[in-house]
Amino acid sequence: MMNSIGEKWFAVVNPHAGSGKAGLEWERVEKLLRAHGIDCITSGTGCSRHATEIACRAAEEGYRRFLAAGGDGTVHEVLCGIAGAIGNASLRGESMSLREFTLAVMPIGSGNDWIRSHGIRHDPDEVIRLLEKESFALQDIAKVTVLEPSGKVSGTLIPGPYSYMVNIGGAGLDARVCERVNWQKSRGGKGRMLYVKSLIYNLIHRRVSDVRIECDGKVAYEGKCMSVAFGIGRYSGGGLRQTPDAVTDDGLLDYTVVPPVSLADIFRVGPRLFNGTFTRSGIIISGRCRSLTVFPLDGDGDIVEVDGEIIGTLPVKVEILPSQINVLHDYGSTHSARIDID
């Protein structure tokens, strides 16, 4: 008996992921999915943002289970497509919720940081095992909105371009590292070391800016800042832990602020990005909130990234959505974040 459209998996495949090797890898994975009786429809991407268009259209057609075959960028675009379909349904007066959807990753890209928070290895065979078990958990999603001058009332900000976040975003050093990595990839750069090299480059050429950070309407930090990160997940940039204590389903954002520090402190604290003790260095300001807004205080705002993609410049507002999405999760892994299912 054939599954209904809502029970089938809709795979959005980025053949360019994994330094162009994902297309060949997907051929093997697709055969394995069929061999395990996992009903799956496949659609390949052709360019940037194409995955968002594909996922949005599929969600509007009735698909509710999505498999992002690629890296973190593919996951981000698929999530934005799902959110877009929900928004379109609302405009039509129809009811559609994140809770109806399941998002899983087939890790055939070069950057697969988000799945680490859910204990999932970079192993397609292991992912298929979890799909068979229907090993899912609920996870928070954040909406990230660039704020712009209203043009009508001086000093008033209104919502501008927005995106949705499944993992980690940031401004300042965090975003400039992503910007340089993306630029290097566009010029043929490959490998996980791109992130480390970009981090070192931007630390050497570090800049600071004046910002005010408000958490749940209260000022949490004001002054000079090198970098600010906000996360639902724990890992980014090939294993860096900017928000190492984040819990994916607690309804809260974890944030870290790096004030101006000396080169000596950078070399002392930098290694802590890899071992999960970053926030316990004595230098970093950190906390949790449901809503976070970052305002620039010294002219043009710094760039902002969400899940590795540049979306605009400060000021920006980040808020946890009231509804959660179902995601693949390995309950047997010792590396996964705490998950409480209601």
Q: Report pLDDT for 184.
A: 83
Contact 190, 199 (CB under 8 A): no
Tell me how far apart the alpha carbons of residues 253 and 118 are, in angstroms, rounded to a whole number: 17
130-144 pLDDT, tens digit per residue, is: 999 999 999 999 999
228-263 pLDDT, tens digit per residue, is: 999 999 999 888 899 999 999 999 999 999 999 888
Question: pLDDT averaged over the chain?
Answer: 90
Q: Report pLDDT for 339.
A: 40
Name residue 221's amino acid. Y
Interval 31-42 mean pLDDT = 94
- In this prediction the pTM is 0.91
Q: Report pLDDT for 231.
A: 97
Q: Report pLDDT for 241.
A: 94
Tell me how far apart the alpha carbons of residues 149 and 163 are, in angstroms, rounded to a whole number: 18
Interval 72-88 mean pLDDT = 96
- What confidence tier does 161 reach under pLDDT thresholds 50, 70, 90? very high
Q: Give the whole-number percent of the chain exceeding pLDDT 70.
A: 93
Name residue 85's amino acid. A
Which is more confidently placed, 1 or 156? Answer: 156
Q: Report pLDDT for 271.
A: 87
Q: What DSSP assignment string belongs to 167-207?
A: SEEEEEHHHHHHHHHHHHHHTT--STHHHHHHHHHHHHT--
93-122 pLDDT, tens digit per residue, is: 999 999 999 999 999 866 789 999 999 998
Q: Report pLDDT for 20.
A: 63
Which is more confidently placed, 205 or 92? Answer: 92
Residue 340 predicted with pLDDT over 60: no
Question: Is residue 53 classed as helix, strand or coil in its secondary structure?
Answer: helix
Contact 195, 177 (CB under 8 A): yes
Tell me how far apart the alpha carbons of residues 52 and 281 are, in angstroms, rounded to a whole number: 39
Q: Give the whole-number percent of the chain exceeding pLDDT 90.
A: 67
DSSP state of 2: P
Work out the angle at residue 274's Cα, subtended by the Cα atoms of residues 209 and 114, and round it to the nearest 5 degrees.
85
Interval 54-71 mean pLDDT = 96
Residue 1 predicted with pLDDT over 60: no
- Stretch (H or E) spanning 112: none
Tell me how far apart the alpha carbons of residues 75 and 81 are, in angstroms, rounded to a whole number: 10
Question: Is residue 52 classed as helix, strand or coil in its secondary structure?
Answer: helix
Work out the angle at residue 297's Cα, subtended by the Cα atoms of residues 293 and 299, and round it to the nearest 5 degrees.
120
Q: Report pLDDT for 341.
A: 33
169-204 pLDDT, tens digit per residue, is: 999 988 998 889 888 877 777 766 787 888 888 888
Q: Which of 14-23, 115-124, 138-147 has the lowest mean pLDDT?
A: 14-23
Residue 164 predicted with pLDDT over 90: yes
- What confidence tier does 274 reach under pLDDT thresholds 50, 70, 90? confident
Tell me how far apart the alpha carbons of residues 313 and 333 are, in angstroms, rounded to a whole number: 37
Q: Report pLDDT for 38.
A: 95
Q: Report pLDDT for 337.
A: 52
Contact 269, 277 (CB under 8 A): no
Interval 294-314 mean pLDDT = 93
